[in-house]
Structure 1
Amino acid sequence: MKKLSVLDKIIFVCNSLAATGLLLSYLLAFIPPKSFPLLSVLSLGVPVLILINILFLAYWLIKFKRQFLLSLIVLLIGYNYVFSLFQFSETINTSEEELSIMSYNVRMYNQYDWTDEEHIPEKIVSFIQENDPDVLLTQEHTVDVTNLKEIYPYHFVHRKNKNSEFGMAIFSKYPMLNKGSLDFPHDGNNNAIFADLKIKNDTLRIFNVHFQSLNVKPEIKDLKDEDSKKLVGRIGQGFSMQQEQAETLKKKVDSTTYKTIISGDFNNTAFSYIYEYLKGSEYTDAFLQAGAGFGKSFQLSYFPLRIDFMLIDKSLQINSYSSFNKELSDHYPIMTRIKI
């Protein structure tokens, strides 16, 4: 520190704060939000803290200063978090028989005209047909606005109650032996549904989930206009509701004897409690296994946000993972292929 200029000393103090913040944030994925709702809000800043520490690391390396060790050590401690943010190379396996699964939050097929682009339902269906997934999971699905039931012989479309604006859907080329809904107890449309698919001589249970929204307007101008205390409080409450929903889902998952896939819109990041809680040691994040880049799944102009996931039973081989830059909703569709 003595040999540093005044400017570099100030920079190192900022570096120390960012490194400490990142180190503490590693723990947030293991702290139930209901215990410390406001603290859990900090998990949303993990991607930014990672990038800031990478910039500090690069700065000190360029200047040939040993202060680079601070951010390097903190990043190495949380290397799993770093790779949750970005994958450097795509892994593609092939097998003669594959099952392709697509998850897509379709934003009610533009029912409320969030975009001026015309014929959104037809374009979404055209995109789905073009990629031809064997199983399609949709969130914010409005009933009967598409012909997907004509494309897929087996389907389960469900709304929690008659007043729900939208629901969830599972479409399949394979027979459904059983299907059901968890009907989360909270008010609103968020929910999880499942279907048991007969695939050759095996049965696979697929959960389609849509956890509680944090109700954050993503544009910077909207965030500036928002009252900060109300915003943080609302996000903390949303995290607590997500925890309760994830616990409801986990009970159902743990009672399942079939190989299982959990997929859908988590409305949270890979640094969150609910992600770590559901993934545990039994599931593989398909993006981490076979994806590339940031795996962006939500339209956010200033940051590549991944909030849609496919957690695959570790007994299943993941052949590929894709995130499609298709701006027909506020979410991008994701798809994985597994060996059957």
Structure 2
Amino acid sequence: MRKLGALHKVIFFLNTLFAVLLLLSYILPYVFPKSFPLISVLSLTLPVFIAVNVLFMLYWLVQFRRQFLLSLVILLIGYKHVEAMYRFSGVSEDKAQGHVKLMTYNVRIFNAYDWLPQKDIPERIKKLVEEESPDILCVQEFYYTQKDAFNSDYPYQFIKYTTANNRTGQAVFSKYPIVERGSLEFPETGNNALYVDVVKDRDTFRVYNLHLESLHIVPRKEHITVEDPEALYKRMGNAFALQHDQVEIFDRHRKTCRHRMIVAGDFNNTPYSYVYKRIRGDMKDSFVEKGSGFGRSYDFDYFPMRIDFILTDRDMKITAHKNYDERLSDHYPVMATIDIAGREQEDKELQEHKE
């Protein structure tokens, strides 16, 4: 192999730097954000580190240099992270008996303060929900003026206002009976988690609607580039620490649940974070199972961000996942179709077929 020239040495040094940063990012889901909140910020940039390492690998391949192995090995070590970032088209199945369509959507209080120039945002959100017709709708940042918006399609509802003026909160709307409901109150914030026990046919299952602490990032380039980096990192570090505490509260509560469950909502963090890893555990992620592309759920200028999730117990079967592109909030809705009978039903049908 030829020795590296001066320019290639500089490029390889940069390559090594980004490879190390990517490797460090792989470790972050195992690091308590409350103990190292500022380091946890790196998890947000993992997609960038992956993309840069792919470019370095391609560069060295074109140059016929063995240095491509550095990024290749690092990417292979974290292939699960790559899988969580981008999926090739999943094969969706038709909705069948026993399947439930669930949508999660942070509606940003229906554009009440005119962040978007369109004046008909509430009507357009209602139209989208009506056309997609999820069986269960989990809403974050619900606004009191829309409390009757979904009455005609969803006879079973749970709305919980969490701000001091009782105007903003979270909501769950269901076409199926809700037999139990409650709210997990997070200290020092207006965020919370709702839970409802839903009955469909002879199945009872729990749905959690999570809205974890916001990172308070303005997603537009012009705001980020002029903001004081130190203040931004400190604010994000504090948010990571609060999320840590909120996940602890949620995790303790779900351990008391005797039903199978679906966890949905706005986690305000990425699939590469401690928060996501702790919440997911051994649950299925609808995007990983049936998604395609980047699965963007947050309107961020720099790269596609997936911070809204639908997770299910292992014995439920995810048959479809859908992301949307219509910008009616700073988030995009996410919907999954779930066979709540899942594997147990599949095994039963297989046994009947054999007999």
Q: TM-score range by the shorter chain?
A: over 0.9
Instruction: Answer yes or no: is the 8 Å Cα contact 1:143–1:157 preserved in 2.
Output: no
2:348 is matched with which residue? none
2:352 is matched with which residue? none
Query: 138-147 or 320-329: which moved more?
Result: 138-147
- Structure 1 residues 150-299: aligned runs within 5 Å: 150-187=152-189, 189-281=190-282, 283-299=283-299
User: 1:252 deviation in Å?
Assistant: 1.0
CA distance in 1, matches of 2:305, 2:199: 34
SS of alignment partner, residue 150 of structure 1: coil
User: 1:149 deviation in Å?
Assistant: 2.1
Instruction: Answer yes or no: is the 8 Å Cα contact 1:91–1:289 preserved in 2.
Output: no
Aligned partner of 1:61: which letter? L
Aligned partner of 1:163: which letter? N
SS of alignment partner, residue 26 of structure 1: helix
Q: Give unpaired runs (5+ residues) of structure 1.
A: none
1:105 is matched with which residue? 106
Aligned partner of 1:155: which letter? Q
User: 1:162 deviation in Å?
Assistant: 4.3
CA distance in 1, matches of 2:42, 2:128: 36
Deviations 1:159-196 (A, max 9, x none): 12542541000000000010000011123x21110100
CA distance in 1, matches of 2:223, 2:96: 49
2:120 is matched with which residue? 119
1:321 is matched with which residue? 321
CA distance in 1, matches of 2:165, 2:245: 22
Structure 1 segments of 4+ aligned residues over 3 angstroms from their partners: none
Aligned partner of 2:202: which letter? N
User: 1:2 deviation in Å?
Assistant: 5.8
SS of alignment partner, residue 225 of structure 1: coil
CA distance in 2, matches of 1:91, 1:274: 28
1:53 is matched with which residue? 53
CA distance in 1, matches of 2:3, 2:298: 45
Q: Give unpaired runs (5+ residues) of structure 2.
A: 341-355
CA distance in 2, matches of 1:329, 1:95: 28
Deviations 1:278-334 (A, max 9, x none): 1112x0111001000000001123311111011111110000000111111111000
User: 1:116 deviation in Å?
Assistant: 1.1
Deviations 1:58-83 (A, max 9, x none): 11111121111000000000000011
CA distance in 1, matches of 2:45, 2:329: 24
CA distance in 2, matches of 1:250, 1:47: 27
Query: 146-155 or 159-168: which moved more?
Result: 159-168
1:36 is matched with which residue? 36
User: 1:228 deviation in Å?
Assistant: 1.1
Confirm whether residue 130 of structure 1 aligns to residue 131 of structure 2.
Answer: yes
| Distance of aligned partners of 1:257 and 1:96 in 2 relative to their CA distance in 1, 3 Å threshold | same
CA distance in 1, matches of 2:130, 2:94: 21
Identity rate, percent: 43
Instruction: Answer yes or no: is the 8 Å Cα contact 2:100–2:338 preserved in 1.
Output: yes
Deviations 1:86-113 (A, max 9, x none): 0012131335221000001011011101
